[in-house]
């Protein structure tokens, strides 16, 4: 009994021990400006309420939803107009209004923080997040979530002192485009898995989810005018598994869930190569008009739709039209990589026509940087996945007006192994430990491409060897936060030793949230 009592007392002491204090500068990605005020710590208490402007209501509801399970507090959400009590306040500041009395002379006005920036003030009496719009409030709310003890990630109530460190954060992104690509073609991932990945993006202020929807091994998005694409082309995947596809409603659900988290979905239909699944479904699209066998291996570069047949362009127009109509975001990704069997001249001609078909839907063309030699179309964006930072064709396309998304294979690829003993993944672009994922600069990475032409960064996850949500998470954590920081944080904050320290504190968060991660030896986990 004495032993039991001692154990119980130890446990209680453990529960009551003050949490490891979170520092105001512990946020990932690093904020633009952090002004700690050690005298201003705020303790969230059971009577706290959230007050919000009507347009920020949905963000406040989400924030309350993140905080209620672990705290067990009711955290009612009320309109700023009706309630005077409340310790967490989310306000939208109209673009022409400078900050009130709390503003320091050298602070940018909220309007200057843009659509995604925010200001967060923590004082002994409460927390205030101010932004020009809901996206900024949302990013501010994610910052607040990181400033609470890691136990906030618990799905059930925890006894804890819910202290938020005092001070002010003024923050906005370096680049407007910050993304992750998920290959749902090599292995199919259901809607629930994709929604969880969107939550992971949102934590780290990533704002684009690029879905690689089609490839040799499977076609994953329903197209009403070409139903066999999914009925036949969707029924395979790498390794011979059952595959799968998204119905129009599935896709709408993904898009809507992402939108609520201020994430834009970028659909990719990979053309003219990587199309074996489409050719199995519709042999008329094949150069020799015969159906190839379904493909469940992992080679690339062997398939292509017939660039010499008008029927192919009708197909592209139908597919692009339907997928664009389902997609509220401004982007449409045409793929364009590894069409090794298509001669350069017909490749360029095909791409030029396909780009026009995208433009006709009102979307902006995105494509892998192999699109570069094709003629320019207004606003087009190339996605750099090279490994040597040097490609004259890409630099020339940028001079003609293209912008660039940086996904260098040897830094940003989430499917590369961390180390030789990583159980899944590739190594064709080298091994990518956390430091390698972090230590590069998107603004200066490609020769001849000025920082002004860089739209942002994206971390692609190809899934030839990735078969489960846990494996997605294992490859993404902790490299996804590293790439997110390159996309969000000002270059002046770039510092490997400080980054690894900040990142280390996220391990317990992931563990508590049930997120699988690679316990990289690069990081001084607590
Ligand atoms: C190259 S990167 C590909 C993909 C593969 C990937 C594997 C790119 C645009 N194409 O088809 O899945 O390598 O790392």
Q: What is the pLDDT of residue 20?
A: 58
Quick one: which atom of ligand 1 is closest to the CA of 428? 14
Q: Whose CA is nearest to atom 8 of ligand 1?
A: 337
**One of 3, 231, 338, 345 is an active-site residue; which one?**
338
Cα 463 to averaged position of ligand 1 atoms, centre (Å): 9
The answer to whether the complex's ipTM is over 0.90 is: yes
Cα angle 198, 423, 204 (rounded to 5 degrees) comes to 25
Compute, in angstroms, the gap from residue 461 CA to the centroid of ligand 1.
9
CA atoms of 26 and 36, how far apart (whole Å) = 11
Instruction: Kindly give the number of the ligand 1 atom that is closest to the alpha carbon of 338.
Output: 10
Q: Give the pLDDT score at 233.
A: 98
| Ligand 1 atom nearest to 426, measured from its CA | 14
- Closest Cα to atom 12 of ligand 1: 462
Instruction: Kindly state the tokens that stand for 351.
Output: 């791409």
From the CA of 348, how far away is ligand 1's center (Å)? 20
Q: How far is the centre of ligand 1, averaged over its atoms, from the C-alpha of 427 (Å)?
A: 11
Q: Which of 216, 270, 338, 367 to mutate to test the pocket of ligand 1 (most atoms within 8 A of CB)?
A: 338
Give the model's pLDDT for residue 100: 41
DSSP secondary structure letter of residue 209: E
| CA 494 / ligand 1 centre spacing (Å) | 28
Domain ranges for the chain: 8-171, 177-493
First to last CA, the chain: 33
Q: What is the pLDDT of residue 15?
A: 54
Q: What would be the CATH architecture of the domain defined by 177-493?
A: Alpha-Beta Barrel (3.20)
CB 456 within 8 A of CB 403: no
Which of 214, 215, 300, 426 most suits a substitution to test ligand 1, by most atoms within 8 Å of the C-beta? 300
Neighbours of 353 (CB within 10 A): 15
Q: Whose CA is nearest to atom 4 of ligand 1?
A: 462
Residues with CB under 6 A from ligand 1: 300, 337-338, 368, 385, 415, 426, 462, 464
Domain 8-171 = CATH 3.40.50.720: no
pTM attached to this predicted model = 0.94
Pairing of strands 331-335, 264-271: parallel
Give the tokens for residue 412: 């940003």
CA of 417 to the centre of ligand 1 (A): 14
H-assigned helices in 176-244: 191-203, 228-231
Segment-wise mean pLDDT, segments of 10 residues, the chain, 526 residues: 59 54 93 96 93 92 97 91 74 52 55 92 94 95 97 97 96 98 98 98 98 98 98 98 98 98 98 98 98 98 98 98 98 98 98 98 98 97 98 98 98 98 98 98 97 98 98 98 98 98 97 98 95
Quick check: is 338 catalytic?
yes
The whole-number pLDDT of residue 88 equals 86
CB within 8 A of 372, min separation 6: which ones? 382, 391, 393, 394, 396, 397, 402
**Inter-residue contact 113 to 133 (CB < 8 Å):** no
Side-chain-side CA neighbours of 297 within 13 Å: the count stands at 6
Nearest CA to ligand 1 atom 9: 337
If you take atom 13 of ligand 1, which residue's CA is the nearest one? 462
Please report the pLDDT score of residue 94 as a whole number.
52
Q: What is the pLDDT of residue 108?
A: 67
CA distance 80 to 102: 18
Q: What is the pLDDT of residue 109?
A: 80
Axis-axis angle for helices 134-147, 191-203 (nearest 10): 80
């Amino acid at each position: 009994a004495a032993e039991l009592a001692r154990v119980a007392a130890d446990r209680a002491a453990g529960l009551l021990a003050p949490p490891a204090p979170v520092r105001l500068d512990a946020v990932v990605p690093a904020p633009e400006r952090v002004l700690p005020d050690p005298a201003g710590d705020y303790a969230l208490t059971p009577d706290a309420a959230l007050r919000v402007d009507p347009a920020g209501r949905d963000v406040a509801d989400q924030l309350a939803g993140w905080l209620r399970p672990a705290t067990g507090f009711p955290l009612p959400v009320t309109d700023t107009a009706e309630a005077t009590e409340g310790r967490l306040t989310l306000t939208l500041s109209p673009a022409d209004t400078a900050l009130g009395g709390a503003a320091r002379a050298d602070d940018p006005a909220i309007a200057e923080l843009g659509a995604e920036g925010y200001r967060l003030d923590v004082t002994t009496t409460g927390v205030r997040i101010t932004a020009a719009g809901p996206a900024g409030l949302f990013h501010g709310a994610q910052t607040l979530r990181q400033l609470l003890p890691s136990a906030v990630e618990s799905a059930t109530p925890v006894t804890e002192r819910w202290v938020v460190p005092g001070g002010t954060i003024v923050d906005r992104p370096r680049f407007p485009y910050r993304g992750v690509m998920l290959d749902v073609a090599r292995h199919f991932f259901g809607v629930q898995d994709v929604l969880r990945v969107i939550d992971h993006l949102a934590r780290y202020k990533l704002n684009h989810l690029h879905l690689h929807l089609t490839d040799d091994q499977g076609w994953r998005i329903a197209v009403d005018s070409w139903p066999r694409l999914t009925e036949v082309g969707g029924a395979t995947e790498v390794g011979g598994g059952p595959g799968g596809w998204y119905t129009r409603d599935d896709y709408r659900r993904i898009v809507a869930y992402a939108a609520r988290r201020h994430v834009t979905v970028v659909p990719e239909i990979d053309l003219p190569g990587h199309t074996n699944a489409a050719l199995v479904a519709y042999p008329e699209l094949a150069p020799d008009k015969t159906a190839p066998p379904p493909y469940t291996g992992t080679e690339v570069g062997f398939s292509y739709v017939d660039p010499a047949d008008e029927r192919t362009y009708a197909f592209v127009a139908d597919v692009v039209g339907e997928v664009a109509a389902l997609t509220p975001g401004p982007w449409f990704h045409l793929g364009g990589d590894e069409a090794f069997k298509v001669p350069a001249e017909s490749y360029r001609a095909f791409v030029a026509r396909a780009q026009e078909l995208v433009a006709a839907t009102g979307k902006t063309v995105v494509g892998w940087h192999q699109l570069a030699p094709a003629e320019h179309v207004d606003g087009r964006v190339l996605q750099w996945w090279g490994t040597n930072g040097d490609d004259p064709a890409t630099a020339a396309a940028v001079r003609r007006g293209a912008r660039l998304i940086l996904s260098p294979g040897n830094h940003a690829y989430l499917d590369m192994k961390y180390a030789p003993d990583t159980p899944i993944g590739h190594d064709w672009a080298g091994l990518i430990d956390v430091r390698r994922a972090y230590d590069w600069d998107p603004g200066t990475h490609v020769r001849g491409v000025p920082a002004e032409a860089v739209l942002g960064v994206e971390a692609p996850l190809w899934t030839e060897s990735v078969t489960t949500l846990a494996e997605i998470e294992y490859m993404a954590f902790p490299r996804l936060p590293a790439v997110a920081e390159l996309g969000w944080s000002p270059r002046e904050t770039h510092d490997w030793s400080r980054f690894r320290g900040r990142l280390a504190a996220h391990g317990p968060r992931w563990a508590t949230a049930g997120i699988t991660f690679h316990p990289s030896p690069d990081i001084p986990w607590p």
